[in-house]
Structure 1
Amino acid sequence: MTDQQKPTGRLRGRRALLAGAGVAVLAAASFAALPEASASLPATPSGWTQVFADDFNGTSGTGVNTGNWLYDLGHGYPGGAGNWGTGEIENMTNSTANVYLDGSGNLAIKPIRDGSGNWTSGRIETQRTDLAAPAGGKLRIEARLQQPNVNTGNGAGYWPAFWALGAAARGTGASGWPGIGEIDIMEDINGRSSEFATLHCGTSPGGPCNETTGIGSGERACGGCQTGFHTYAVEQDRSTSPEQIRWYLDGNNFFTVNANQVDATTWNNATHHGFFIILNVAIGGGFPDAFGGGPNGSTVSGQPMLVDYVAAYTSGSGGGGGGGGGTGGKAIKGPGGLCLDVRSSGTANGTPVQIYTCNGTGAQQWTYVEAGTTLHALGKCLDIPNGSTANGAKLQLWDCNNTAAQVFIHRADNTYYNPQANKCLDDPSGSVTPGTQVQIWDCNGSGAQKFSLPA
């Protein structure tokens, strides 16, 4: 497979360096190796709704399903920090030498060193950015995988990871991290038969989340994780008080972060929105360096991380589709104090959505959920026609369908951001004129793009 151009409008920031002195190594704990890759996804747990899944079944040597995944290419996001902001040295490709289905129900991400000592590897992320815990509910992200079969003698520099970034990361650039939230579900370095779990949030350096280290579990023993499949999961729980994020290895909760460990604004900005999932194997960088460094002359080439499946589930308020909950049936005020309005209270697909004098009618009663089909009125959703990403695309009402054309993330600056288009809800030319149909436009922070949450 030939290299493709990297998608535009993506995060141009950096991942955290998780290095830190005094990381505790727990006493060795043995986890029995699970059977090799299963033929199908596990049954959805009782009380949960599956909102995303890929079991990586397919012909040996083929690439991933690009309906579910996109490839990160090169040494960093366009315009962002090189080496993905972490000092890693590999070149990420979409070659089936590096990222491929193995024909036995697994995804393989394989780092390879060439004769000149240069490394290539793979990094993929979900097309969807709307995997979110509904208000009052939960989100669970889970994968069953085998870490690269290396050890501390020949794994120097290996850095496999299964993690998630806040949806706004696709478009905010370096300034968005770490405030937009990063949840590291599984990381290992240098073949140490262990794993690390971390939440990144707040500001960097320092801040309420101790960046760039983050709020982490420290090093946890993971016996057999290089030689067998184990299940790694995280649950974001908004049904408890305080809210929690919990990490699991083979069903055992080994680390928890509570919302009251940081201030409410930091927590909300980092967690109350959609996420996308990332799988990658890096080589080198600040995190491996903190534990002896690498790669070196003893580092083996070509040991893949194998992934049996990835799945996401929601439960509680709001149900499936990755979103739910939120406020309901209230006005959204925009430029000039006008309200977001469904023209003539129409309920037909394609009815224009406009700004209009606030009048309290049902056409101005919006429900906001934090992912998926985001803005609801009259039983339908705010929608970008045909999923357009062009400046000036006029917005309409349409049947809710959980597509990227219906994702509008309300950000701290009072803009509604659509990640797929990398654009914002906008009053054309700042008209402040009742009856003007709203559109999407490059995010610019102007008054024409300021819209409140339903209130």
Structure 2
Amino acid sequence: MEPSRRRRVLATAAALLAAVPAAVFATMSADASVPATPPGWTLQWSDDFTGAANTLPSGANWIFDTGHGYPGGPGNWGTGEIQNYTTSTSNIRLDGSGNLRITALRDGSGNWTSARIETQRANFRPPSGGKLAIEGRIQMPNVTGSAALGYWPAFWALGSPYRGNYWNWPAIGEFDIMENVNGINSVWGVLHCGVNPGGPCNETNGLGASRACPGSTCQSAFHTYRFEWDESVSPKQFRWYVDGQQFHSVNQNQFDATTWNNMTGHAGYFILLNLAMGGAFPNGVAGQGTPTAATVPGHSLVVDYVAVWTAGGGTTTPPTTTTTPGGSGWDAYTEIQAEQATSRSGGTVETCAEGGQDVGQLKNGDSLRFSGVRFGSGTATQFVARAASGAAGGVSGLVEVRLDSPTAAPIGSFAIANTGGWQSWRTVPANMSGVTGTHDVYITFTSGQPAAYVSVNWIKFGT
């Protein structure tokens, strides 16, 4: 749902509305758990949205997108959608019964609000020669006809290089696992890639297909939406499913080598859930601007679970990730690039004056996570970071190391203030408690002021 939809109309909409439902899929309760992992697959990540009613989903799993676009990115999220995304539990909450509810609301002045979240992790991809599956069990907003005009729910994934750039779409790839507009009984599955407009993915429409939900309508019941990226076959393939029934596929032979590598050769993808209102896709299908005065607010996208599995192959680390020799996490004693963090909260990936990229202008509460950092049997007692700061006078903060949890006690830290500019780099060492073995490393940022105070190029550890 990024700039992909600026002009999407989908000439085949009329035919899609007439699609006949297929066989009924097995019925599950509204609060079903993540399914048991089938033989040959490994569960990599999941969230079944268990928690107290009227609380937010886990901040350890999700980043909350707010407003009308990413800072420095295209307005209205590049799609023309009109709502303001918030973190209010009126717009996004756990329902206490194992579901996430994202609700679109309209105030007395006609302003719409809703919510959008994306996974902290941005490295979902298949192991070399293996398969990746991203799956969610979802009920679309239960509203149809004129009352549904403008509703645009989506379950999708974006290539990790989009974070901090926001202008490299569609080259970095986008998998729309489930999209729907205007309360139509249909699920759209779409791939976006290459260049815009035109290119091998026919942008801005993308390469898509659609069908009616099996049995019950998409709006009246939960259905399971699944995307698979399969590198175990030749040619490599992307596939889309609803309730176990495949309805769309795209294979590597449809693309030139550069296009394929641009969307599959990076660190992986992050997953998004959102409920937009209005924009190019619903407007194009409706043949008019949406939402309208007849659109009824208060309907919700309901998500039972999201899960990611892999199967077969070797490492899940892409061959381009040179900081992970051997394909099993990071070597603690080599430079670990900040922009290649497994997940990131806050900061902006930017061009670094020393070459490559850095994560710029981090502030209180931000963090970087590096999964599987290998310290080995030797004891690491020193933490080193390449850092810079253009913070204003009186603004400073700590750069901290924590193990296995962002809320664990820091094992080492250093303080930093203005170094002469955001690209005026310094190598800053700090002592820390001895570490051995393999750990998820969290670099956290703590300050008494709300302003950004540090940029990070790389980190490493020493004995």
TM-score, with normalisation over the residues of structure 2?
Answer: 0.71
Aligned residues: 366
One of 310, 316, 323 as aligned partner of 1:314 = 310
* Aligned partners of 2:324 and 2:331 also within 8 Å: no
Match among 239, 245, 248 for residue 238 of structure 2: 245
Equivalent residue for 1:135?
128
| Structure 2 CA distance for aligned equivalents of residues 372 and 438 of structure 1 | 13
CA-CA distance at 1:374 after TM superposition: 8.8
Contact 2:225 2:242 in 1 (8 A): yes
RMSD over aligned CA atoms reads 3.6
**Alignment-derived partner of residue 298 in structure 2:** 302
Q: Using the TM superposition, name which of 279-288 and 262-271 deviates more.
A: 262-271
Residue number among 77, 88, 97 corresponding to 1:84 in the alignment = 77
After the TM superposition, which residues 352-391 of structure 1 pair with which residues of structure 2 at under 5 Å, given as runs?
Answer: 353=335, 386=401
Higher fraction of strand: 2
Aligned residue for 2:166, secondary structure, equals helix
Which residue of structure 2 aligns with residue 289 of structure 1? Answer: 283
Q: CA deviation at 1:375?
A: 9.3
Of 10, 13, 34, which residue of structure 2 is paired with 1:20? 10
- Matched to 2:269, the amino acid is F
| One-letter amino acid matched to 1:285 | G
| C-alpha distance 132-165 of structure 1, shift in aligned 2 (>3 A) | same
CA distance in 1, matches of 2:114, 2:221: 21
Shift of 1:127: 0.5
Query: Does the 8 A contact of 2:212 with 2:218 survive in 1?
Result: no
Counterparts of 2:41 and 2:296 in 1: how far apart (Å)?
41
Query: For the residues of structure 1 that align with 2:429 and 2:195, how far apart are their CA atoms?
Result: 34
Tell me the CA shift for residue 402 of structure 1.
5.7
Contact 2:131 2:232 (8 Å CA) reproduced:
yes
Q: CA deviation at 1:209?
A: 1.2
Cα distance in 1, alignment partners of residues 109 and 436 from structure 2 = 55
Q: Distance in 1 between matches of 2:45 and 2:370?
A: 12
The CA deviation at 1:199 is 0.6
C-alpha displacement of 1:392:
5.1
Deviation digits for residues 217-271 of structure 1 (CA, Å, limit 9, x no counterpart): 1x32124111111000000001111000000100111110011111121112112
Give distance in 2, aligned partners of 1:422 and 1:52.
29
Match of 1:171 among 155, 160, 164: 164
Query: Which residue number in structure 2 is paired with residue 449 of structure 1?
Result: none
Q: Residue 399 of structure 1: CA displacement? A: 4.9
- In the alignment, which residue of structure 2 is the partner of 1:161? 154
TM-aligned CA deviation for residue 30 of structure 1: 4.5
Structure 2 contact 4–206 (Cα < 8 Å) conserved? no
Structure 1 gaps of 5+ residues are 1-10, 333-339, 343-347, 355-370, 406-420, 427-436, 440-455
Residues 349 and 399 in structure 1, CA contact (< 8 A), matched pair in contact too: no
TM-fit CA distance, 1:152: 2.2
Out of 87, 98, 102, the residue aligned to residue 94 of structure 1 is 87
Work out the percentage of aligned pairs sharing the same amino acid.
47
**Which TM-score applies when normalising by structure 1?**
0.72
Could you tell me which runs of 5 or more consecutive residues in structure 2 were left unpaired when the two chains were aligned: 337-368, 386-399, 403-412, 417-424, 444-453
* Closer, same or farther: CA 275–86 of 1 in aligned 2, 3 Å: same
Distance 2:131 2:384 in 1: 26
SS at match of 1:183: strand
Equivalent in the alignment of 2:195: 203
Equivalent of 1:55 in 45, 48, 55: 48
- Give the one of 143, 146, 150 matched to 1:150: 143
Letter of the structure 1 residue corresponding to residue 12 of structure 2: G
Where does residue 29 of structure 1 map in the other structure? Answer: 21
Please state if 1:259 is matched with 2:252: yes
Q: CA deviation at 1:318?
A: 2.5
Q: Decide whether the 8 Å contact of 2:373 with 2:441 is kept in 1.
A: no
Alpha carbons of structure 1 residues 138 and 341: separation in structure 2 relative to 1, 3 Å: closer
Q: How far apart, in 2, do the equivalents of 1:395 and 1:139 lie? A: 39
CA displacement 1:266-308 (0-9 Å, x = unmatched): 1121123311000000000000011114211211111001000
The amino acid across from 2:233 in the alignment is: T
Q: What's the CA shift string for 1:39-65, capped at 9, x where partnerless?
A: 422111211111110000111111110
User: 1:398 Cα shift?
Assistant: 7.6
Q: Is the 8 A contact 2:192 2:203 kept in 1?
A: yes
Question: 2:145 aligns to what SS in structure 1?
Answer: coil
Partner of 1:277: 271
1:245/1:258 contact within 8 Å kept: yes
What secondary structure does 1:247 align onto? strand
Q: 1:213 corresponds to which residue?
A: 205
